Structure 1
Amino acid sequence: MKSQIKAGAILSYVALVINSSISLLYTPVMLKLLGQSEYGLYSLATSVAGYVGVLNFGLGNAVIRYTAKYRALKDEENCSRLYGMFSIMYGVLGGIALIIGTILTLTADSIFSSSLDVDEINKLKTLMVIMVINISIGIGFGFFSVVVLAYERFVFQKILSIIGATVVPLIMLPLLIMGYGSVSIAIVTTAINFIIIVINMYYCFKVLRIKVVFKKIEIGLLKEILGFSSLIFLNLIIDKIYWSTDQVILGIYSGAAAISIYTIGVSFTGYFSGLATAISNVFLSRITGMVTKKASDKEISDLFIKISRIQYIILSFVLGGFIVFGQEFIHLWVGKEYNEAFIIAIIILVPMIVSLVQSIGGIILQAKNMQGFKSIIYVVTSFVNVVISIIFVKWWGAIGSALGTAVAFTIGNIIIMNIYYWKKINIDIPRFWANITRMSFAFGASLVFGMTLNRWILAYKWQELFVKIILFSIIYICLMWLTGMNKYEKDTFREVIRNIVYRFKRKKVIQDTSSNTD
């Protein structure tokens, strides 16, 4: 399983690079073919329908947690009964999601009538119908994709994810060029997601050979699972408030164009989140095992700092590059009319980096079943976010909405949660910050270098931008290697490079052999 974890982490980054590359190439094409207004409508529909997505109730993490527990105990009978119970729960939640999504769709005109015209509202409702069906099916049958994760078959899951992410734009581009618009995007996405669900079901029964047994539900176990999942469910709601409510607020007060600009800015948070969670998510089963075996606080702290350091190396590199070159990139990528998106992205990303570096902390809380306090804090700060954002939107539009999110994020995710990790979970937070401080010289010096470089070369051309990014990358890597990375991180970096070189050489040898045979 160690090879699966390592391969899973590597493939997570491969998937992230592919998904990000597709998004970066696909987004400007979508904007051009759809227009700013329809792109804003599509983003608004995604945000509103996305609220239905939280109705999976956080059961995915419960499936992983209890599967790891029963597999560690080699208790196949109870594991099969557990799967029967989860199947029923997922099905019921899928039905509830469909009902609530339908209600949201029917009330969309009364919510957004002040900022959207009749045609825009009708298109919004059509998009929401398709997206609600997609999400409801995903919830109802989502159990099977989670089982694949629970069995730590990360390679299969990531490859499937990569294929899905690649196929959608390949189908969509011809349809957009033919003028089918945002509705066709929603339909194609739904169809691909359904196919992926069927593949996951086949894999679970034919490859993993899981058994789903429907017997009398143990009330005690059900209460335990609901208690565990309810806190994660609360976190999902709060997360949705943090990252989707701003679009809804803008939809009420500002209109589709403002949503479009904000969506471009906030999209960069998705890339950063993906970088952070690509590693941390594959450790849930491992950390659950450590907790079950009564691992010491020092062992947990060591893992927390070890993973956080790696995430900081990656995230500070990307954040530094974005701070220096982000505005120029957005100008070239989607046009100067979206320059405000850079300010929105920076306002949110700077405080967000701390929480993302510490994302393994959330995994530890789940494994320990101690996420209650985090949920309470997030509830409070999420409502603070909504209140501040509504006030700030009236003053500064999309930038005000970003400021509200950043203030709430700093209070809840950084200040309060760091104190909680330290005092309650016994994670050595002072040692964590000492590590981050020592590593930050490379980040700061690279920023100074990049800003100086920008004073010399700011031509708003792709060629010059790529040259500057390469120079920035060389400086950052050299400085981090010399002043920030420890032996483990250097060895890991060397191993990754060796594997890449080995695979390249092996591929070349195979190609040469094939050519000689021909």
Structure 2
Amino acid sequence: MTSSRQLKLGALMSYLAIGVNILAGLLYTPWMIHSIGRENFGLYTLAMSVISLFVFDFGLSSAVTRFIAKYLAEGRQDKADNCMGLVYRLYIIIDIVMMLVLVGVYFFIPQLYKELTLVEIERFKIVYVIAAIYSVISFPFIPINGVLTAHEKFIQLKLCDVAHKLIIVLAMSVCLLSGGGLYSLVSVNAIAGLIMILLKVSCIRKFTHQGISWRYFEKREFKEIVGFSGWVTIMSIAQRFIFNIAPSILGALSGSTSIAILGIATTLEGYTYTFANAINGMFLPKVSRIVSNDNGDVLPLMVKIGRIQIYITALIVFGVICFGKHFIQLWVGAEFKDSYLCALFVIVPCLLQLPQEIGNQTIFAKNKIKKLAIVYILMALVNIVLAVSLAPIFGALGICVSIFVAYMVRTIGMDIIFYKDLNINVMSFFKDTFVKLSIPLVLCFVLGFTINAVISLDSWLGFVIKGICFVWSYATVMYLFAMNENEKELVLSPINKLCKKL
């Protein structure tokens, strides 16, 4: 199957997986809160965030994708196998260290989370142990996503993601129906993750020729991989000083109720980011091929994908701004009304950042990540200073304001790198994307507020009617006044093929 077809079908599978995930979240998040209570939902959110602070790929997954894609482009499968051998040596060492760190953190939980009650501390300890055991077992398998991406097996990767979401939905539904509590829900997530690891490993064995040269060791190449992944590790750590550390700051300075409010806001942000970013991760191999040519210019691809991302991201962001308050009230109840303003602060930066993701992929492809890591460090420092200052006064809202400012710092910093280090004409990008689409975007934004004001039904039926009207209006405006001929063909082509089959 051609790379182009893999991309198209992979994108389709991505949106299917995301659709399942969003639908499941809409259904079982309020169900979960009702079943285990708002405080336990806060503990659940806190446990997941604490584990993710320590469990990440240390840049090695990105290294796997970059180096294997490079070797495959050169026709050197042996080099790709050698690379995997070097990567896994690092993973095993890191896994042992991480296990020791997680054990150490366990004994300091009461001192770290002083705003939690004694009962909440005991519950949190059990949840933490379950999540930590799963994390230590699953950590060595993190590179499997990078392997499938490097081999451009997007369909298999995304089908696994769909299966993962379905398994979690079914298992958690059974758990909630049978009266399972907080511990059962955490266990279900862990078991689903282990099943998914087995599926992805099977895909690698069946659909690729990827192997692991356990005995291979070459000092220069090892240093190159460590050097690349080292800066990515710094970026990953900095990124964890945004959302992942936020519940811990609230646990220390505010309490479990604020964590729950933040949890709803970050859930909505997660849906927005995942849906809008579904296709971006699949372009690193293609970007690598472009930049391998000394005269390769990524700007045309960046503009092409950027415009598509604006269409998708603006639809979601505008929808949250116009209808988010109504949705949250219907979804999880009036007690989470403060989550709406929180969600706005963390979601709006997506509209500016996600359409530029091809530029970010170019930084990785050209191994110019040192300066990007510096930008991420600055972003993390800004967030921590503001979060610690604002959280005691404003709770979850203070955290979200700090995230908004930090993300804007990141976006500006990345644009400077694009211009100075990658020779990407950033102004030309903005002219061909945001500027040319500004009038249709403003018109859609106004239409969203108008629809929300005119249709005043305070029910799920009213919300669905508003949503349908907005999506239809948005699509019509964009098709008539924003899309170029290629983009219209991209929309009409699958529709025409479907009509012919029918």
Normalising to structure 2: TM-score of the pair? 0.96
Return the alpha-carbon distance in structure 1 between the equivalents of residues 440 and 418 of structure 2: 27
Unaligned runs of 5+ in 1: 506-518
Which of 426, 432, 447 is residue 429 of structure 1 equivalent to?
426
**How many percent of aligned residue pairs carry the same amino acid?**
29
1:393 aligns with 2:391: yes
Structure 2 residue matching 1:185: 3-state secondary structure: helix
- 1:94/1:138 contact within 8 Å kept: no
Deviation at 1:62, TM superposition (A): 0.9
Measured against aligned partners, the alpha-carbon deviations of 1:145-167 in whole angstroms (never above 9, x if no partner) come to: 43222211111111111111111
**Aligned letter for 2:157?**
Q
Q: Which residue does 1:417 correspond to in 2? A: 414
Structure 2 unaligned residues grouped into runs of 5+:
none
Does the 8 Å contact 1:145/1:197 carry over to 2?
no
Aligned to 1:132: 132
Change (3 A) 1:107 1:446: same
Aligned CA distance change for structure 1 residues 414 and 78 (closer, same or farther; 3 Å): closer
Deviations along 1:117-159, one digit per CA (max 9) or x if unpaired, are 1121111111111111222222212233432222111111111
Aligned mates of 1:444, 1:465 — CA distance in 2: 22
Alignment of 1:494-513 (within 5 A): 494-501=492-499, 505=502
Equivalence for 2:357: 359
Q: Which residue is equivalent to 1:39?
A: 41
1:499, distance to aligned residue in structure 2 (A) = 4.3
Q: String of CA shifts for 1:224-265, please: whole Å, max 9, x gaps.
A: 111111111111111111112221111111111110011101
Aligned to 2:54: 52
What CA distance in whole angstroms lies between the structure 2 residues aligned with 1:57 and 1:22? 30
For each residue in 1:57-104, what CA deviation from the matched residue of structure 2 results, as whole angstroms up to 9, or x when unmatched? 111111111111111222222222222222222222222222222222
Q: Which amino acid aligns with 1:160?
A: C
Q: Residues of 1 paired with 2:178 and 2:90: CA distance?
A: 42
State how 1:57-456 maps to structure 2 within 5 Å.
Answer: 57-112=58-113, 114-296=114-296, 299-410=297-408, 412-435=409-432, 436-456=434-454
For residues 419 and 159 of structure 1, the distance between their equivalents in structure 2, rounded to whole angstroms, comes to: 37
State the 1:461 CA deviation.
0.8
Pairwise CA distance, 1:478? 1.4
Per-residue CA deviation, residues 451-485 of structure 1 (Å, 9 max, x unaligned), is 12322322321111111111111221111112211
1:473 counterpart = 2:471: yes
Distance 1:369 1:344 in 2: 35
**Contact 2:313–2:350 under 8 Å retained in 1:** no
SS in 1 for 2:307: helix
| Contact 1:45–1:128 under 8 Å retained in 2 | yes
Partner of 2:462: 464
CA drift of 1:44 comes to 0.4
Aligned residues: CA RMSD: 1.6
Q: Distance in 2 between matches of 1:49 and 1:93?
A: 15
CA distance in 2, matches of 1:426, 1:250: 41
Deviation at residue 206 of structure 1 after TM alignment? 4.0
CA distance in structure 1 between the aligned counterparts of 2:31 and 2:494, rounded to whole angstroms? 34
CA offset at residue 418 of structure 1?
Answer: 1.6
CA distance 1:398–1:332, shift in 2 (3 Å): same
Residues 106 and 125 of structure 1 are in contact (CA less than 8 Å); yes or no, is this contact kept in structure 2? no
Deviations 1:256-315 (A, max 9, x none): 11100111012111112112321110001111121223343xx31111111111000111
For the residues of structure 1 that align with 2:4 and 2:448, how far apart are their CA atoms?
A: 38
**Aligned position for 2:14:** 12
Q: Is the 8 A contact 1:138 1:194 kept in 2?
A: yes
Contact 2:299 2:424 in 1 (8 A): yes
Report deviation, 1:211. 2.5
CA displacement at 1:352 relative to structure 2 = 3.1
AA matched with 1:51: L
For 2:269 and 2:318, the matched residues in 1 are separated by 14
Q: CA deviation at 1:221?
A: 0.5
2: CA distance, partners of 1:313 / 1:453: 19
d(CA) in 1 for partners of 2:358, 2:36: 38
Asked if the contact 2:156–2:203 (Cα under 8 Å) also holds between the matched residues in 1, the reply is no
Q: Deviations over 1:298-349 (max 9, x none)?
A: x311111111110001111111111111100111011011111110011122
Contact 2:17 2:162 (C-alpha < 8 Å) held by counterparts:
yes
Aligned to 1:278, the other structure's residue is in SS state coil
- The number of aligned residues is 499
Letter of the aligned partner of 1:421 in structure 2?
A: F
Tell whether the 8 Å contact from 2:85 to 2:216 is kept in structure 1 after alignment.
no
- Per the normalisation by structure 1, the TM-score is 0.93
Deviation digits for residues 428-455 of structure 1 (CA, Å, limit 9, x no counterpart): 2112211212212222112212212322
Is the 8 Å Cα contact of residues 317 and 443 (structure 1) preserved in structure 2? no
For 2:444 and 2:73, the matched residues in 1 are separated by 46
Name the residue aligned to 1:27: 29
Which digits, 9 at most, give the CA deviation of each residue in 1:390-430, with x for residues without a partner?
111122111111111111211x2222222221232111211
Q: 1: distance between equivalents of 2:61 and 2:395?
A: 36
Would you say the 8 A contact 2:415–2:426 is kept in 1?
A: yes
SS of match in other structure, 1:243: coil
2:53 and 2:245 in contact (8 A); partners too = no
Could you tell me how far apart the structure 2 residues matched to 1:32 and 1:501 are? 44
Q: CA deviation at 1:500?
A: 4.6
C-alpha contact 2:14 2:279 (8 A) present in aligned 1: yes
Cα–Cα, structure 1 residues 456 and 165, in superposed 2: closer, same or farther, change >3 Å? same
Aligned partner letter, 1:227: G
Per-residue deviation, 1:222 = 0.7
CA distance in 2, matches of 1:99, 1:448: 54
Distance 1:85-1:502 versus aligned 2 partners, 3 A rule: farther
User: Cα offset for 1:501?
Assistant: 4.1
